[in-house]
Every structure is written in structure tokens, then in C-alpha cells.
Structure 1
Amino acid sequence: MRAFHLAWLSLFSCFFSTFSIPPLIPIIRHDLNLTDTDVGTAGMASFLGSIFSRLAMGPVCDLLGPRVASATLSLITAPIVLSASLVSSPQSFILVRFLVGFCLANFVANQFWMSSMFSGCVVGLANGVSAGWANMGAGVSQLLMPLIFTAITSLNVGTHTAWRLAFIVPSTFQALTAIMVLIYGQDLPSGNYKEFKKTKTESREEKFVHVLFNGLKNYRGWILGLTYGFCFGVELTTDNIIAQYFYDRFGVNLQVAGTIAASFGMANLFSRPMGGVISDRMGRRFGIRGRLWGLWAVQTAAGLLCVLLGRVNSLWGSVLVMCVFSVFVQAAGGLTFGVVPFVSKRSLGVISGMTGSGGTVGAVVTQMLLFSGSKFSKQTSISVMGLMMIVCTLPVSLIYFPQWGGMFCGPSFDPNEPADEHYRLLQ
């Protein structure tokens, strides 16, 4: 449980850092003379950075363990978060957002850590609560960063300086949580990866390249990456644009826009854990088929709500639909990682990395196609994003496990076979 609390708190700080910039964009945009294209490109850049880092984080966790991988990444990226206070041009702003996006790779370490520490019957709940509470960092930053900025300006500090000083808070918080993970964390119930590697016999040791390619050739990981791209990826995109959307479309002030946007991210307190609970309960009752059906149903409902969000024309109607949408889209993320631990025992880190990076790929795609430039209005783009969610959830029906079956087919092997034999069949 100590590992659980360290994992979610560390990832919380990374989400807080990554999304500390969007709520201040109305101020930064004016100060740096950013165009809508600059803002959209910067948002896309923040997700591009996390794609590569998430892909790399999976194998690194397999090799070094989640504790060292998580803490090292946080310590490397904390100074980059602080450097946001030094940007002076659109180009440097885009570069900083790209580099800050590397923070989000900590998500892979978080899910790997929970899958290593908790048993299969509760792994959906553990992954869901850990990631859900951590994802609240995006909502908390939407709420706190405008308040921090306002508090600094109340000390007779100019706006040009105030928004820059505000970034001291997320960078310091991230560094402190990383140090706590290194000092107090533990990789496995039986100890740390360093000791675990020493006790393994040479004949059973998995080669790094074998583990990597073993995961990459598993088609289930690619489908889950696509699915996650249009639940968590949509969540990231919404976190990036929702404050500005309400600020521009409905004319609310910076603090109100930040509060509304915060309610979207704060729903992770219960919504993503709820997805994990649903996955575990469906799994206990219907096996892997229940987990897959639950994922498809919840994510499809989220897509329909996203379509509706772009069609609502009143402020309070939009807020209500946004809150319900947030519950479903975040629960879908918990349901996705309720399936991930069953895909490959040997390449858990690689599959987690593929799925996690799929989330940021989806964010890049939606940001680039729908929210970069002025080809579509934001409300139309939001509705189109919902349609993309519905379509990209359909491939879940193609996932099949020889021992457990799929959404429409039963198992082709005896479900009472030992787990090790099942994993051998999956390889």
C-alpha cells in the first residue's frame, strides 16, 4: 500500500506539471503574442513528447523496475517544468510544452507498478484508483494555477512576471515526490528489482530484446493502444482545450473557466476507479468477455456524450454534459487497463507502454486534426471527436484469448490450464 500511495502521488505531480500551462494560456497568449495555431501546435507538441517517452518507459520498467524508472524521469523533467517561466517566444513555448510532455510517461511506470504489486482479481481496481487519483492532477492544476497566479498578482507583481513565478509550485512538487519514491518505494511485494534480478537463474532470465519484440508482435496490445487513444487521448485533449473553450465561447472569466475545466479532471477521483471496479466485477462474473464488453459499452457511451457536448449551446447545459462525459471517458480508461495485465505476463511493461503511448498518439491525432488552426469551430471539433471515439472502439471485438475467449467467441483451450501455459500460448 505504500507503493500504491507513492505511485499515484508521483504521477499526480506529473499531471499537475503537464497541465499547469493550459489554464494560464489566456494570459500567456497575450504576453507572448501567440496565435491560435501556436497554441494548437504547443498542445500537440506536449503529447508528441509523451509518445516516445511512454514507448521507452515500458521496456525500461521491465529492465530496471518501476521505482527507479519513475523517479528518474520525474527528476529529469522537473527542471524543464521550471523552465516554462523562461519562455519568451512562440517557438520556445512550443519546445517547452514538448519537453514537459515527457512527464506523462510516468503513467506507464504507475500501471506497471500496480500490476506487479496486486493480484489479478483486484488489479483493475488498483490500476483504476492509482491512475484515477493521479489524473486528478490535471483538474487540480486547472483550479489552482489561476489561483496561484491571482495570489502572486495581489502582491503587486505584474502579470508578465506572475505567471512565470507560478511554475515554481509544480516543478518543486514533482521533484519532492520523486525523491519520496526513491527513498520509500518498493518494486515488488518480495523486494526491489535489483535483488530480484540477482536471485533469478541465468537460464530463466529474459533478454531485453526478446521481451521487447515479444510485446510488439502481440496484436492485442495494438488494439488496446488504439482504444486507449480514444478514451485517455480524448481526455488529454479535453484537458488541453476545455478551459479555453468555455472562456472563448461563453465569455466566462479566467477563474470560472479554470473551475469548470477542473471539474472535468477532478471526476477522476471516482470515475476511473469505477471503471476498474466494473472491469473486475465483470471479470469475476463473465471472465475476460465481461471485461471486453464493459470496455466497449462504456467507451461508446462516452463517444455519444462527446458528440452531444459539441451540440449544446447553453453554458449550464454544456457544463452538465461535460461532467457526465468526463465520468464515462475516464471510466473507459480504467476498463482498458483492467484488460492490459492479462495480455502478456512476460512483456507487461511493453504492453503497458504500447497502450499508454496509444493514449498520447490519440491526443496528438485529435489535437492536430481538430484543434490546430481554425478549419473547424471548437464545438464542431468536439462532436467529430466523439464520432472518432465510437468508431475506434469497435476493434475491441477482435481481441481474443485462447484460454478465455473474446466478446463473441468462447475459449479454444481448456480454461483450467495453468496460467503459465496460457501465457506461453499467447507468445
Structure 2
Amino acid sequence: MSNSSASRLNIFSFSGNMRILHLTWIAFFISFFVWFNHAPLMASIRDTLGLTPQEVKTLLILNVALTIPARIIIGILVDKLGPRITYSSLLFLAGILCAFVAQASTFEEMAILRFMLGFVGAGFVIGIRMVGEWFPAKQVGVAEGIYGGWGNFGSAAAAMSLPTLALFFGGDEGWRLAMALTGAVAVVYSVIYFFSVTDTPKGSTYFKPNKAGAMEVTSKSDMILYCIMKLPLFLALALLNWKLGPDNLKILSTDISYGIYAILAALYVYQLIHIFKVNKDVLSEEVPEIHKYNFKQVAVLDLAYLVTFGSELAVVSMLPMFFQDTFDLSIVMAGLLASGFAFMNLVARPGGGLLSDKFGRRKTLLILLIGLSIGYMTLSQIDSDWFLPMAVIATMCCSFFVQAGEGAVFAMVPLIKRRMTGQIAGMVGAYGNVGAVLFLTVLSFVDAHIFFMVIAGAAIVTVVATYFWLDEPEGKIAEVMPDGTVQLIDVS
């Protein structure tokens, strides 16, 4: 079968693996719809609860805080329990939490509930494993791209529909009913998903990690690199703690802030100990060549997702205000023009996966990262002298490379080590949130032009890492069957 024919999917089909793909991207769509259901309703929430600007900022931060560790935890659970149970449970719990959020009457209640609801942002990881199980290597890129791109559109759908829905319900309770309705949809779909999918095609084996709690590595150098790559996940949480602490938003007292730093340090040490326990055999004996994989593959994909999805989250947060201030536009017009960045997800992310399947994953990711860096360099030059349509076109072009790059990253994730796809996807996905925290923190100190240049610089560093350290998946990977025999899976 040729690459082109193997990569071609009938997106209008609702049978076989395409049925699983459609059911799964809808689950992801609903998880993102729930995760971002507060943003378009924030003005109403603010007025009803009497929130200060500082409290509004705190809610926005808390909504993404838990997603970083959640993606790691969900990655472990999906490898252990399977996507069907994990996704259904996540949507059900998120729906119940939505009902409580809709009844919140104080800032404190809202803050705790939005922090907890940030866990639903980890739903993305589950579908990566599910799609990877159902599609062959030559189709997995475009399939993952459709899953990620169409599902990610849930946040834009929330922004477009929930204000109208709240207005339809009317009164100060409109936002509560709109939010409760999103929760009800999540609960209903959790049941539908549970009874409509299976973890693997009939006759296939669902490979599980040999050990839980940390990712397995296959060499001493990989163990060291794994420990290093874990650190930024904790540093990002420390950065969020700093933003909420006495030096910034002043939501947390000095004692509480220092206490959180101490807890994060202790958790990192605990994680290092757990990594050692899971991989202690690597220190004393050589792993057979057939079972080896290079952790550097995961590390490079971490960085690639940091500059792609991380920059997308950051740019979507600031782009409307950037257009408004630069071109003296109304809030509505600025938001409309800036929304083009997110809309590109529908075609760009599947496009990145399709290009990876057809022309090679490493080459495609390199080209897209180079295009991303050029795109952000271009955005850094936009000022009031620019012709507005040209600025919008530049933004859309940059957006294509950003989101196609995301598709290219996850076209490779399922091909590294099948039984650990959930954990790998969880770590890579968490780095996307790390990038968002990092770039938004940079934005708090510099203007938008320097902000875009910083992202471009980070992309160039990632291009270098990709060129020298990322390998094209090829040949076969070995997985151990439950009866102890070895099965070889084609990843070329």
C-alpha cells in the first residue's frame, strides 16, 4: 500500500476505526468545551459574584494549574485502565463538577471548583492512546490530527455559543444554567462513550506498562535525561505559585506560598525516587536491544509541543488585545479577527498529521518549526503602520505552522513505545501547558513584539534539537504479549 493511499481517510464514514475516531474527537471536544466554559461567561460571573479584577485573573490561572500534573496522571491511568474507562470517568466527573460550579456563590467556592475542573484538560491524552490503537502507522498522523484539531475546537465553540445560551436563559442565572447544561452534556456523553467503544480492534492486544508510577526507560543516560525533563513540570507550577503569591497577585500569603514551594520540591524528589525504583534494573543489567527505545525522542517532542501548543495557548490569550491596541479596533472586531488563530485548528492540525504520514515525520516537523519561527518573527514586526488585512493574513499563516506542528508532534507520539503511549502523550501534553505558563509570564514583563520574538527564539532552539536528536520512526517496535511472547509492531 502506498503512503498516499494509506494516509487517505474517509472522514464521512462512521464504521470501523473511523467510528472510533469520531466518537473520540467528540469526547475531546466536550472536554475542552467544559474546560473553557467559564471564559466566555466570565463577565457575567464577575458581576454576579462581585469579583475584583485580581480575583478574575486568579480564576484564569487556577483553571490551567492542575492540567500540568493531571496530564501526567491521566497518562498513567489510560495505559493501565484503557481509554474507554478513563475517558468515560473523566467526562462524568467533569460534568458533576460543572453542576457545582454553576451553584458557586463566593469567590472561594469558584476558585476551588475551577482549580479542580482544570483536570478535564487532560482528556486530550486519552484519545491519543485510543486513536493510536485503532489506526496503522501510515494513517495515525492524520487520524491524530483530526482528533486533536476537531476536538480542540471545543474551546472556540464554547466562546461562540455559551454567551448566546446564557442570554437565552436570561437574568443573573443565565450563566449558571448554561454552565450546568455543559455539565449535563458531559455526563450523558460519558455513558454513550462507555457503551460505544472498545480499547482495541477485535483480536488486538492492549499492551500495558510493566510497572506503574513512572515511565520505563532503557538506559542509564535515558534515566538521567528523564529526571532532567521532569523538572520543568514542577518549575511551571512553582511559577504559577509565584504569580499568585505576595510578590504579584497577593492571593496567597507568604507562609502558604513558601509552603507550596516546599511541597513541590518534596514531590520532585519523590518523583526521582520513584523513577529510580521503576528503572533500577537498568542500572545493573543491559536491556535487550529489541526492547530499547530512545527517551531523547520524548524529550525533543516535549520541546516541540512547548513551542507549538504552548505558544498557541499564550497567543490566543493576548491576540484580541494586541489587535485592539495596535489598530484601535473595537473589542468585538478585535476578537473576531483574532479568532482566526484558533479556527485554523480545524484544518491545520489534521494537515500536519497528513504531511507527516506522507513525507516523513522528522522532516515535516522540522519544516513546520522553521515556518513557525518565521511566522512569529513576522508577527513581531506588526505595528499600526501595517495594512490590517495583511496583519490578519500573517496571523493566519503563523497559526497554520503552529497547529500543523502540533499535529506533526502527535503523529510521532504513538510510534515510540505502544504500551507507554498514554504516559508519553501525558508528558508531551504537559509540556504544552508549561510553554503557555512560560510565554505568558514573559508577556507580563515585555511588550507583544518582544513576546513574539521570544517564542521565535524558542522555536529555533527546538529546530536545532529536532535536527540533531530526533530520529525518524522506522522498522518495528517490540511489545511483550500477556503470555510472554514478543509481538513486533510496524512503525514505518
- Shorter-chain-normalised TM-score: which range? 0.7 to 0.9
Deviation at 1:207, TM superposition (A): 1.9
* Contact 1:14 1:174 survives alignment (8 Å): yes
Counterpart CA distance in 2 for 1:17 and 1:70 is: 14
Deviation at 1:328, TM superposition (A): 1.9
Hey, what does 2:135 align to over in structure 1?
A: 118
Counterpart CA distance in 1 for 2:459 and 2:39 is: 23
Residues 72-92 of structure 1: per-residue CA shift (max 9 Å, x gap): 111111222333333444444
Amino acid at match of 2:168: A
The Cα RMSD (Å) is 3.3
* 2:440 is equivalent to residue 364 of structure 1: no
| Shift in alpha-carbon separation, 1:141–1:175, aligned structure 2, 3 A | same
Q: Secondary structure at the match of 1:354?
A: helix
1:68-79 to structure 2, matched below 5 A, reads 68-79=85-96
Deviates more, 1:224-233 or 1:385-394: 385-394
Counterpart CA distance in 2 for 1:337 and 1:353 is: 11
* Contact 1:145 1:166 survives alignment (8 Å): yes
* 2:217 is equivalent to residue 214 of structure 1: yes
Hey, what does 2:42 align to over in structure 1?
A: 25
Q: Secondary structure at the match of 1:189?
A: coil
Counterpart CA distance in 1 for 2:398 and 2:57 is: 23
Amino acid at match of 2:149: G
| Shift in alpha-carbon separation, 1:230–1:40, aligned structure 2, 3 A | farther
Structure with the greater alpha carbon radius of gyration: 2
Hey, what does 1:52 align to over in structure 2?
A: 69
Match of 2:426 among 353, 373, 377: 353
* Contact 2:36 2:155 survives alignment (8 Å): yes
* Contact 1:74 1:175 survives alignment (8 Å): yes
Match of 1:186 among 194, 198, 204: 198
* 2:21 is equivalent to residue 4 of structure 1: yes
Hey, what does 2:359 align to over in structure 1?
A: 282
Match of 1:335 among 394, 405, 408: 408
Aligned length: 390
Taking only the aligned residue pairs, the percentage that are identical comes to 27
Deviates more, 1:245-254 or 1:87-96: 245-254
* Contact 1:77 1:103 survives alignment (8 Å): yes
Hey, what does 1:177 align to over in structure 2?
A: 189
Match of 2:330 among 249, 252, 273: 252
Counterpart CA distance in 1 for 2:110 and 2:344 is: 29
Q: Secondary structure at the match of 1:166?
A: helix
* Contact 2:133 2:200 survives alignment (8 Å): yes
Hey, what does 1:398 align to over in structure 2?
A: 468
* Contact 1:140 1:265 survives alignment (8 Å): no
Counterpart CA distance in 2 for 1:312 and 1:235 is: 25
- TM-score computed with the length of structure 2 as normaliser: 0.70
Counterpart CA distance in 1 for 2:91 and 2:165 is: 22
Counterpart CA distance in 2 for 1:91 and 1:245 is: 31
* 2:132 is equivalent to residue 107 of structure 1: no
* 2:347 is equivalent to residue 270 of structure 1: yes
Hey, what does 1:420 align to over in structure 2?
A: 478
Residues 66-112 of structure 1: per-residue CA shift (max 9 Å, x gap): 11111111111122233333344444444333222211111001111
Residues 307-354 of structure 1: per-residue CA shift (max 9 Å, x gap): 346888776555443333322211110011122122223422211111
Match of 1:161 among 173, 187, 193: 173
Amino acid at match of 1:325: C
Deviation at 1:384, TM superposition (A): 4.0
| Shift in alpha-carbon separation, 1:117–1:301, aligned structure 2, 3 A | farther
| Shift in alpha-carbon separation, 1:147–1:12, aligned structure 2, 3 A | same
* Contact 2:377 2:452 survives alignment (8 Å): no
Hey, what does 2:149 align to over in structure 1?
A: 132
Q: Secondary structure at the match of 1:167?
A: helix
- TM-score computed with the length of structure 1 as normaliser: 0.79
Counterpart CA distance in 2 for 1:87 and 1:257 is: 31
Counterpart CA distance in 2 for 1:260 and 1:146 is: 18
Deviation at 1:115, TM superposition (A): 0.9
| Shift in alpha-carbon separation, 1:67–1:304, aligned structure 2, 3 A | farther
Q: Secondary structure at the match of 1:420?
A: strand
Structure 1 residues without counterparts, runs of 5 or longer: 406-414
Structure 2 residues without counterparts, runs of 5 or longer: 1-17, 227-294, 480-486
| Shift in alpha-carbon separation, 1:234–1:306, aligned structure 2, 3 A | farther
* Contact 2:128 2:414 survives alignment (8 Å): no
Counterpart CA distance in 2 for 1:309 and 1:19 is: 29
Q: Secondary structure at the match of 2:216?
A: helix
Counterpart CA distance in 2 for 1:309 and 1:57 is: 40
